[in-house]
Structure 1
């Protein structure tokens, strides 16, 4: 009898939801942290992180324990998030894009914004784009479906280090990174608004931008999509007066608090404009923590290694879904990925999917009913994927098989020698097999030989790997197209000498 009642309740709930969506399409806010580890948020167990707004979203929404990005570095992870396709298909590999990169996310790729535009959605992005600038702004957000953009079009550390004012009153970050590169620009749509950017005022500018966008959309009763890929908590951290010195974690904790403050302001705006009951808010991160920065690099919690590696610490991320009155509070252990966000948003909005091979699946049932995932497996590519090596690892159910392992400079300095850059590429035949439910830290490989059940699991994994790789068509590498100093964004493009004259 209880099962019948549950089914009836879910049936009528879904009918009501469909009616609501048809009457007023849902809004979407997508929050994407930078280099944030699985163990960095208070709601994921960090004892000294100050993240009250994210903790509240997790308490009132759905918190994921098994959520993955697709790459352990920035640009390819962002490409997959926005397209629902592994970065190998779009060509955003190997590594990341730079200020003068000739390539970027190809314009024939369809982003979440472009999926929603035909339905009349207003679209805006703010923060770290990192999917290319190109000649005459070819690859900027405004060319990829976004009506409005405010932000730094690449990573905020891709400028001379001494131009970063990290903490008030005037504490500079000194270093040798990117000497001779233009100072970091703040762009509004396709125009440089400020160069170098004032980092101490940046988060307030983003908050104001988001408030104006949400308020204007709500006033016009226009559904909207806001994408906020934050610079926080990528090294070197910065924070303005509202967060600097306010936490027990030092610069990393202060930067994280500033991100949390912006998210809190977003939620207040959604409440004030009366749209919070019709808005899905999703939060996750682009890759794991940069452990080489030690206490300034983030924390992977119980997961092994971090950024740059295909161990869990490099690609398993915190993730939260919040939708007031629609998503019930809880925790899900279902496997999901950034790949799944595009098809899920398309499903909830009633939008058409792009006519291409998608790697994401609709996770609506997880969000609305805490149901089961449609995702059978998760694939793990290294930072420099190629067709000869293929996948480094594959997760099926609770099992993960490593066909290759390798450390990374991003995960250096920690005691585990397998995370370090001196841990060279190593092939495993048979693959290293881990039970991620019993051993999420990937410390204890299972002795599969002689165990019929585990041997069957490995055979199934190998078959899925073979099928997947046979369907994978590698796109032309955008990053291998190289760089051109003349493409570096300059607010005064005809000035001389560059880069010092690029100042406005």
Structure 2
């Protein structure tokens, strides 16, 4: 045998040995989930004035996705599908989002990523925005959904009065009024309110300390870990403490994003200092597109059409980065992937059992480890208020996207594109509008259908097969709200929302 042949065999054996050695220590997972961040909001995706050195580091040293999707153009349903690997219609997190007094929440019979990993001895923690329900006696909090620890705001930080709160130092009041007919926004540790209203200037410092301490403690205990960090920052109203305020070129949105990036830097430093950086998959993406109604305070979808609240690309196609030194080679992938795929991928990498339910996610280990092909051929697009009556609004098959319905949204108002605004009423398309997303990612030019009859037949078949498999779960949001469920640190308070101060 030639010397080169022997070298190849030696290298192969070395790789096998390294794999066996690494498999003895299950990988750790850090999942970073931005809020209302658009496809064009990061410097590594083309924004000229964003300052995010740590996210740029992840992109330079990891795998950057160009065709990564969330499952809903609004918050709660997007988070439900991420954590369960199932479209939000199955779990009942629709229509719209959950509120402080919502009676429903993510059903406890749904299996989250944390619950998949815990039987293997993983430590699990969530820090930041939950937004999957609070319920009576904290029924739906993270600690009831597989997470050992939780520090955060249990819903969106604009779901409470904010006009008299400080969002930037020294005493710059929050922009806008937020929701005025509910309690002040609380900070919770596990199931206990620690602060109400929350101090936005110190919030990220608390999150950073909690998250880095969780990593350090897990490493000391020689316990694999899963850290879920859904950030609030780029959602309205933006906020930042002294470490980031006024330091970006992009105003309040840029400062908020920079503060989020600073915490990502702290997490990376902790992973390095504890010696587990090479055994940790760090994954970053966003829950939905930018809220264009906030104009410069609302993010940017780049070349994509519309934003939050719509099923156009700008509402559901997100930046995404996977970073794992020594395992994931730096590069860019154009393979299609989704937040649905996180649960089966983490389960595969950890050697965990999948839940015995209908999953919509697929394992994307081949994309991450070998920059191979995706197992995902389709992506389904439901609006923020899905129904069995209308079914899918759009479907992507390969490079083609078919719109069966289009509709604008309040969230994407105040943009020059009239298709995006709330005045763009629901419009059916039969036959569907079809776009080639490789040639026209902005969805500007519907293709002539004369030469696409075979494609139309295939699209119809895929749509019918998927919708036949879809069983809508009971709507948790339609259960309504009870003001008595709104969390307040003073149980004797009356009337709400003026009672909360602790």
Q: Is the 8 A contact 1:70 1:338 kept in 2?
A: yes
Partners of 2:181 and 2:419 lie apart in 1 by: 35
Tell me the equivalent position of 2:431.
430
d(CA) in 2 for partners of 1:8, 1:335? 34
What residue number does 1:482 align with?
480
Q: CA deviation at 1:241?
A: 0.3
CA drift of 1:15 comes to 3.8
Matches within 5 A, 1:353-372: 353-372=354-373
Tell me which residue corresponds to 2:45: 44
CA distance in 1, matches of 2:8, 2:142: 43
Structure 1 pair 435/246, CA: closer, same or farther in 2 (3 Å)?
same
Structure 2 CA distance for partners of 1:278 and 1:108, relative to 1, 3 Å: same
1:8/1:313 CA distance change after superposition, 3 Å: farther
In the TM superposition, residue 492 of structure 1 has moved relative to its aligned partner by 1.4
The structure 2 residue matched to 1:465, chosen from 459, 463, 466, is 463
In 1: Cα distance, 2:415 partner to 2:10 partner: 50
Q: Where do residues 139-154 of structure 1 align in structure 2 (5 Å cutoff)?
A: 139-154=140-155
CA displacement 1:16-48 (0-9 Å, x = unmatched): 564144310000000000000000001000000
Matched, 1:283 2:281: no
Q: 2: CA distance between counterparts of 1:484 and 1:391? A: 31
Contact kept in structure 1, 2:174 and 2:239, CA below 8 Å: no
Contact 2:128–2:229 (Cα < 8 Å) also in 1:
yes
Q: For the structure 1 residues 404 and 244, does the alpha-carbon distance in structure 2 shift closer, same or farther, using more than 3 Å as the test?
A: same
Structure 2 portions without partners, runs of 5+: none
Mapped partners of 1:6, 1:493: distance in 2 = 71
Match of residue 396 from structure 2: 395
- What is the CA-CA distance between 1:201 and the residue it aligns to? 0.4
Cα separation, 2, equivalents of 1:174 and 1:59: 34
Distance 2:333 2:204 in 1: 31
Cα pair distance change 1:61/1:12, threshold 3 Å: farther
* Alpha-carbon distance between aligned partners in 1 of 2:10 and 2:343, rounded to the nearest angstrom: 27
Cα deviation digits, residues 453-497 of structure 1 (max 9, x gap): x21112111100100000000000000000000000011112334
Deviations 1:275-322 (A, max 9, x none): 101000000000000000000000000000000000000000000000
CA distance in 2, matches of 1:220, 1:377: 41
Q: Distance in 1 between matches of 2:108 and 2:360?
A: 19
1:330-354 CA deviation, whole Å, 9 max, x = no partner? 0000000000000000000000000
Q: Aligned pair in 2 of structure 1 residues 328, 263: CA closer, same or farther (>3 Å)? A: same
Structure 2 CA distance for partners of 1:466 and 1:7, relative to 1, 3 Å: farther
User: Judging changes above 3 Å, is the alpha-carbon distance between structure 1 residues 362 and 13 closer, same or farther for their aligned structure 2 residues?
Assistant: farther
Q: Which runs of 5+ in 1 are unaligned?
A: none
Q: Is the 8 A contact 1:407 1:424 kept in 2?
A: yes
Partner in structure 1 of residue 114 of structure 2? 113
Q: Tell me the TM-score normalised to structure 2 length.
A: 0.97
Query: Matched residues in 2 for 1:309 and 1:132: separation?
Result: 23
SS at match of 1:79: helix
Instruction: State which drifts further: 160-169 or 275-284.
Output: 160-169
Q: 1:376 to 1:99 in 2, by over 3 A?
A: same
Residues 84-483 of structure 1: pairs in structure 2 closer than 5 A: 84-173=85-174, 175-448=176-449, 450-451=450-451, 454-483=452-481
Give every structure 1 segment of 4 or more consecutive aligned residues whose post-TM-superposition deviation is greater than 4 Å.
4-14
Task: Quickly say closer, same or farther: Cα 1:418–1:483, change in 2 above 3 A.
Answer: same
Q: How many residues align?
A: 499
Checking the alignment, whether the CA contact within 8 Å between 2:176 and 2:237 is kept in structure 1 is no
Distance 1:435 1:7 in 2: 42
Q: CA deviation at 1:179?
A: 1.5
SS in 1 for 2:131: coil
User: Match of 1:468, SS?
Assistant: helix
Q: After the TM superposition, which residues 67-82 of structure 1 pair with which residues of structure 2 at under 5 Å, given as runs?
A: 67-82=68-83
Preserved contact between residue 175 and residue 237 of structure 2 (Cα < 8 Å): no
Find the aligned partners of 1:5 and 1:331 in 2 and give their Cα distance.
Answer: 32
Q: Residues 370, 324 of structure 1: CA spacing in aligned structure 2 closer, same or farther, 3 A cutoff? A: same
Cα distance between partner residues in 1 of 2:395 and 2:165: 39
Given candidates 494, 499, 502, the residue that maps to 2:500 is 502
- Do the aligned partners of 1:21 and 1:348 also contact (CA within 8 Å) in 2? no
Mapped to 1, the partners of 2:157 and 2:415 lie a distance apart of 25
Cα distance per residue 1:63-119 (max 9 Å; x no partner): 000000000000000000000000000000000000000000000000000000000
| Inter-partner Cα distance in structure 1 for 2:192 and 2:208 | 19
Q: Secondary structure at the match of 1:331?
A: strand
TM score, norm. by length of structure 1: 0.97
